[in-house]
Amino acid sequence: MKDNPYSLMFGKAPGQMISRMALSEEIYDAFLSETPSVMIYMLMGVRGSGKTVMMTELSEKLGSYKDWITVELNPSRDLLVGLASKLYNEKGLSRIFDKAKINLSFFGIGVEMEGTQKIYDIEVAIDHMLRALKKNGKKVLVTIDEVVNSSEMRIFASAYQIFIRDDLPLFLIMTGLYENIYALQDEKNLTFLYRAPKIKLGSLDMGSIAAHYRKVFDIDEDTSREMAKLTKGYPFAFQVLGYYTYEHGGDYKKAIFDFRQRLNEYVYDKIWSELSANDKKVANAIAMSKTGRIAEIREILGMDSNGFAPYRERLIKKGIVNGTDRGYIRFELPLFDEYVKDNYI
């Protein structure tokens, strides 16, 4: 039996995936421009929306250009020291730094260099490194997955603002949940992040999902469309349904029990735990609504328009509900209405 082409692991590129070509090209064009006007992008979305996979694709493609260096940083560690260390240890770059007489031995990076002044400030060290790289025609892409409003991130973002203000070749792609991205940019000295382009990763194209299923399972158009509709375009659901359908010999109906359980355990339990009591109350009203009409949902809640609007906006930004149809609101995530009914107390 062939290996299952779908994956249940977050962040790992599966054998079968649907690229977001238009969004990716937007970032490529911006970063590869002769005089880039944008040097930072923030990818937002609910868990399982494909943020990490897209970031990895972007990093791999840009890293294939000879003058680009890509560095992935761990957001829970000292990001500035991590950046300096990874740059120094990147193949071929230590010669550039040694030639520029950049002594990083104080930070445990490289070796003590005679006739050079040891650098004691990490921001100064990175500034020197980036200037040396710029002189040699190099550009650096930093990727940080699942950022949070931590002291490490705040320090790094503050330094990054200075580096780009000094016209240094440092590009940045960050991913994160809506609430974490906005909490970070709300810091008083990080308001430049408000101007950073934010891309919310929503649903995948349903036609593309159906086409993938048809190709892999050799099924008719109607069946492939039924499968696509069951996922609601949610990237992780696309993988999970494909995975268990493959395990059940191509019968997606036999896969539905596992499909639902995996979504609940891997995604929905965590989403639900992070909602406030009032958010859960509003979510339950949406689940109980027969039409999805906002007027009906407000009636269930006994809430006026002004009272309902903040909850609607927050659930939309979290990627939980879709409010594109005027006067209506529905869950963005597949089978989430059933989950809410089962778990609301």
CB < 8 Å & 24+ apart, contacts of 178-185: 178/44, 178/45, 178/317, 178/318, 178/319, 179/274, 179/318, 180/146, 180/147, 180/148, 180/149, 181/42, 181/44, 181/147, 183/148, 183/149, 184/147, 184/148, 184/149, 184/153, 184/154, 184/157
* pLDDT over threshold 80, residue 242: yes
For residue 93 the two structure tokens come to: 């770059």
- d(CA 154, CA 187) in angstroms, rounded, equals 8
Residue 68 is predicted with a pLDDT of 97
Residue 78 is predicted with a pLDDT of 95
Report which secondary-structure segment, H or E, holds 125.
Answer: helix 122-135
Taking all residues of the chain, what is their mean pLDDT, rounded to a whole number?
A: 92
All CATH 3.40.50.300 domain ranges of the chain, comma separated, are 21-200
* pLDDT over threshold 60, residue 345: yes
Is the pTM higher than 0.85? The answer reads yes
How much is the average pLDDT of 107-116? 69
Residue 16 is predicted with a pLDDT of 67
- d(CA 306, CA 209) in angstroms, rounded, equals 38
Summarised one tens digit per residue, pLDDT across range 251-304 is 999 999 999 999 999 999 999 999 999 999 999 999 999 999 999 999 999 999
For residue 254 the two structure tokens come to: 């036999």
Strand runs (DSSP E) across 54-164, as ranges?
Answer: 68-73, 139-144
Residue 65 is predicted with a pLDDT of 94
Asked if 162 contacts 122 with a C-beta cutoff of 8 angstroms, the reply is: no
Residue 1 is predicted with a pLDDT of 56
* pLDDT over threshold 90, residue 58: yes
Residue 10 is predicted with a pLDDT of 76
* Domain range 21-200, CATH class: alpha beta
Beta strands 330-331 and 321-322: pairing type? antiparallel
> What's the fold here for domain 275-343?
Arc Repressor Mutant, subunit A (1.10.10)
Residue 256 is predicted with a pLDDT of 97
All CATH 1.10.10.10 domain ranges of the chain, comma separated, are 275-343
Three-state DSSP at 29 gives: helix
167 burial (CB, 10 Å; 0-12 / 13-18 / 19+) is exposed
Summarised one tens digit per residue, pLDDT across range 170-224 is 999 999 999 999 999 998 889 889 889 999 998 899 999 999 999 999 999 999 9
Would you tell me how many other CB atoms lie within 10 Å of the CB of residue 165?
9
Residue 11 is predicted with a pLDDT of 66
DSSP 60-71: HHHHTSTTEEEE
| pLDDT bracket for residue 103 (50, 70, 90) | confident
* pLDDT over threshold 90, residue 39: yes
Give residue for tokens 């290996």: 3
% of residues, the chain, pLDDT over 70? 96
- d(CA 75, CA 147) in angstroms, rounded, equals 6
% of residues, the chain, pLDDT over 90? 80
